[in-house]
């Protein structure tokens, strides 16, 4: 089958493209037009069981393959991703709605992740520790955990899935992955490339379909030893409960509520541009999107003027059009949530300086880029992730006050602040209860850095060498020499 062939879109189990046991399918819709992009199998628990068995059978030989060989497969996937950049990017845009330029960037990031973990596979170092006993040696080795179950969201359908796949395979795990139901075809295209790269059957399995049934089997079946998940905190908590049955390991990247602080000495042009780059990327549907912008009262008016000018210029449209900077929300539920958050804020006294309602006249799920002022913490938008193109802006008077407000949340994923004061940079970055902090920068994801959250934003880290730890067990081996005279 050619890489770009439209149909059939199928699951990949034990090296074979397959329909669901039930033969049922579901439709994937383009959020910009509501047209059907394709249909994919409605897999369930029985399909998942087969995938887990296949991964289990493949584990021994894959985990024992020299790391360099595993890395060579991943390098090949990197090459294939770049060769097929355009087709992959178009599919990402069709399924998720994001502008094509962002989709292309996502393919490049995914390829870089495969390249990084191709090399990281070879750096799974152990340790030799001096013993208290002359006849003893203490050795610590790290070994693949076993079969990894990977559950991923729709907002970066290639990169979040690809990063987990690359990390787990590099560590020596075999995998069963389930992409989000909004964007499964991008996952299927990635699997076509994994197949082309020649991965042995059973090493990488893909199931699409009912998240509840598939998720339950991934938890209930003892074969999966670790669950790698990116998604909502609510589902993350369900997975934690389910994982307790077999004490499965969990790597969870969950929701956030990022504060973005503009101090009185900040470069206001830089800060305003950074809000826009961060908040409207992927139509505000990133866990790294600023959810609350706090501006020092001395610079509030100047900042708002700059921000308003930038937001008013943003071009909303179908992501396939060159001029589009902001696409649709991913689905109707996403649009409803944005409407609810804005309407709740407006009813409690907020003012929309720009936008404030959905875009009329399109079948797609478009919402106008929006700035809200006069916001306060009793509004939903100041406490829950909006996942939409809406920036709430408020003021503060002191560093202590704004730090208290910034940390007053159960989340702890991303935080940003803008200042030119070096001492403050140290103080504030250390005081923020967040896993990732950007100083004078609002797009901070980096392959080599650890990504993850404090508090209810997750467990574990992805990226860099830290990502590997989630898929590796630590084993202590002690060896006592038995011959005399040592
Ligand atoms: P979002 O709100 O961003 O869609 P979700 O947490 O609902 O985030 O979805 C992230 C991923 O989790 C998707 O692949 C989705 O299908 C999956 N998912 C949703 N509910 C469950 C569940 N009960 N068990 C396992 N996976 C689930």
- What's 287's domain CATH number? 3.40.309.10
Same domain, 243 and 298: no
C-beta 314 within 6 A of ligand 1: no
Same domain, 267 and 373: yes
485: in domain: no
Same domain, 348 and 205: no
Same domain, 391 and 298: yes
Atom of ligand 1 nearest to the CA of 330: 4
What is the value of pTM for the model shown? 0.97
pLDDT at 5: 62
Quote the number of domains for the chain: 2
C-beta 153 within 6 A of ligand 1: yes
C-beta 460 within 6 A of ligand 1: no
5: in domain: no
Residue 372 has pLDDT above 50, yes or no: yes
Q: Can you tell me the distance from the alpha carbon of 386 to that of 358, in angstroms, rounded to the nearest whole number?
A: 14
480: in domain: no
Residue 104 has pLDDT above 50, yes or no: yes
What's the order of all strands across the beta sheet hosting 258-262? 351-354, 370-373, 390-396, 290-296, 258-262, 414-418, 436-439
Residue 384 has pLDDT above 70, yes or no: yes
pLDDT at 149: 99
Residue 1 has pLDDT above 60, yes or no: no
Alpha helices in 231-352 (DSSP H): 233-243, 268-279, 300-312, 332-347
Same domain, 119 and 80: yes
Same domain, 207 and 88: yes
Mean pLDDT of 461-484: 95
How many C-beta neighbours within 10 Å does residue 476 have?
A: 11
Test site for ligand 1: of 180, 233, 236, most ligand atoms within 8 A of the Cβ: 180
pLDDT at 329: 98
Q: How confident is the model at residue 483 (pLDDT cuts 50, 70, 90)?
A: confident
Residues with Cβ within 8 Å of 154's Cβ and at least 6 positions away in sequence, in order, are: 95, 96, 179, 180, 181, 182, 183, 330
The string of pLDDT tens digits covering residues 178-204 is 999 999 999 999 999 999 999 999 999
pLDDT at 484: 64
Test site for ligand 1: of 211, 283, 332, most ligand atoms within 8 A of the Cβ: 211
Report the DSSP pairing between strands 249-253 and 458-459: antiparallel
Indicate which residue's Cα is closest to atom 9 of ligand 1. Answer: 231
* Strand, coil or helix: 115: helix
6: in domain: no
pLDDT at 297: 98
Atom of ligand 1 nearest to the CA of 153: 10
Mean pLDDT of 93-102: 98
Taking all residues of the chain, what is their mean pLDDT, rounded to a whole number?
A: 97
C-beta 238 within 6 A of ligand 1: yes
Catalytic sites, residue numbers: 253, 287
Nearest partner of 338 among 388, 392, 393, judged by Cα: 388
The string of pLDDT tens digits covering residues 334-370 is 999 999 999 999 999 999 999 999 998 889 999 999 9
Indicate which residue's Cα is closest to atom 20 of ligand 1. Answer: 211
Q: Domain range holding 397? A: 258-439
Cβ pair 410, 254 in contact under 8 A: no
C-beta 162 within 6 A of ligand 1: no
What's the order of all strands across the beta sheet hosting 458-459? 16-18, 11-13, 204-206, 174-178, 147-151, 224-230, 249-253, 458-459
Same domain, 272 and 249: no
Same domain, 172 and 246: yes
Test site for ligand 1: of 48, 151, 365, 384, most ligand atoms within 8 A of the Cβ: 151
Same domain, 371 and 405: yes
Q: How confident is the model at residue 95 (pLDDT cuts 50, 70, 90)?
A: very high
The string of pLDDT tens digits covering residues 434-470 is 999 999 999 999 999 999 999 999 999 999 999 999 9
* Main-chain phi, psi angles of 413, to 5 degrees: -95, -85
311: in domain: yes
Q: How confident is the model at residue 396 (pLDDT cuts 50, 70, 90)?
A: very high
Q: How confident is the model at residue 119 (pLDDT cuts 50, 70, 90)?
A: very high
Same domain, 26 and 169: yes
Q: What is the DSSP letter of 379?
A: S
Indicate which residue's Cα is closest to atom 13 of ligand 1. Answer: 180
CATH number of the CATH domain containing 122: 3.40.605.10
pLDDT at 361: 87
90: in domain: yes
Cα 135 to averaged position of ligand 1 atoms, centre (Å): 52
1: in domain: no
Same domain, 388 and 460: no
444: in domain: no
Same domain, 57 and 194: yes
Length in residues, the chain: 486
* Strand, coil or helix: 430: helix
The string of pLDDT tens digits covering residues 254-297 is 999 999 999 999 999 999 999 999 999 999 999 999 999 999 99
pLDDT at 2: 56
pLDDT at 370: 98
Residue 93 has pLDDT above 80, yes or no: yes
Q: How confident is the model at residue 246 (pLDDT cuts 50, 70, 90)?
A: very high
C-beta 242 within 6 A of ligand 1: no
């Amino acid at each position: 089958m050619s890489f770009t062939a439209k149909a059939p879109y199928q699951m990949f189990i034990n090296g074979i493209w397959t329909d669901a046991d039930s033969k049922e399918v579901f439709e994937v819709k383009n959020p910009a037009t509501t047209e059907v992009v394709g249909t994919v199998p409605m897999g369930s628990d029985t399909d998942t069981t087969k995938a887990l068995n296949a991964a289990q059978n493949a584990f021994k030989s894959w985990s024992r393959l020299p790391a360099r060989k595993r890395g060579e497969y991943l390098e090949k996937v990197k090459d294939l991703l770049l060769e097929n950049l355009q087709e992959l990017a178009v599919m990402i845009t069709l399924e998720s709605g994001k502008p094509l330029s962002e989709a292309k960037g996502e393919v490049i990031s995914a390829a870089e992740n495969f390249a990084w973990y191709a090399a990281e596979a070879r750096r799974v170092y152990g340790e030799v520790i001096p013993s208290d006993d002359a006849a003893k040696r203490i050795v610590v080795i790290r070994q693949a955990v076993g079969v990894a179950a990977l559950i991923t969201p729709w907002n970066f359908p290639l990169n979040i899935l690809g990063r987990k796949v690359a990390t787990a395979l590099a560590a020596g795990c075999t995998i069963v992955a389930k992409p989000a139901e909004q964007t499964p075809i991008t996952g299927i295209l990635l699997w076509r490339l994994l197949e082309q790269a020649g991965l042995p059957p059973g090493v990488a399995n893909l199931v699409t379909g009912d998240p509840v049934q598939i998720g339950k089997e991934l938890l209930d079946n003892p074969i999966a030893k670790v669950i790698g998940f990116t998604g909502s905190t609510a589902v993350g908590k369900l997975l934690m409960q389910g994982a307790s049955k077999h004490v499965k390991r969990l790597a969870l990247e969950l929701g956030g509520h990022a504060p973005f602080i503009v101090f009185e000495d900040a470069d206001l042009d830089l800060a305003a541009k950074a809000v826009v780059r961060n908040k409207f990327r992927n139509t505000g549907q990133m866990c790294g999107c600023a959810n609350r912008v706090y501006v020092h009262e001395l610079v509030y008016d100047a900042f708002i003027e700059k921000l308003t000018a930038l937001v008013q210029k943003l071009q909303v449209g179908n992501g396939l059009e060159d001029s589009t900077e902001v696409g649709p929300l991913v689905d109707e539920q996403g649009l409803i949530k944005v409407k609810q958050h804005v309407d709740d804020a407006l009813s409690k006294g907020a003012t929309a300086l720009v936008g404030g309602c959905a875009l009329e006249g399109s079948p797609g799920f478009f919402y106008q880029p929006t700035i809200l002022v006069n916001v306060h913490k009793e509004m939903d938008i100041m406490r829950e992730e909006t996942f939409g193109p809406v920036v709430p802006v408020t003021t503060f008077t002191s560093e202590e006050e704004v730090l208290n407000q910034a940390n007053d949340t159960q989340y702890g994923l991303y935080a940003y602040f803008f200042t030119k004061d070096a001492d403050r940079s140290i103080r504030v970055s250390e005081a923020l209860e967040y896993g990732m902090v950007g100083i004078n920068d609002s797009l901070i994801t980096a392959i080599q850095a650890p990504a993850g959250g404090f508090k209810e934003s997750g467990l574990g880290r992805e990226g860099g060498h830290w990502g590997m730890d989630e898929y590796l067990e630590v084993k202590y081996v002690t060896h006592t020499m038995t011959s005399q005279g040592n």
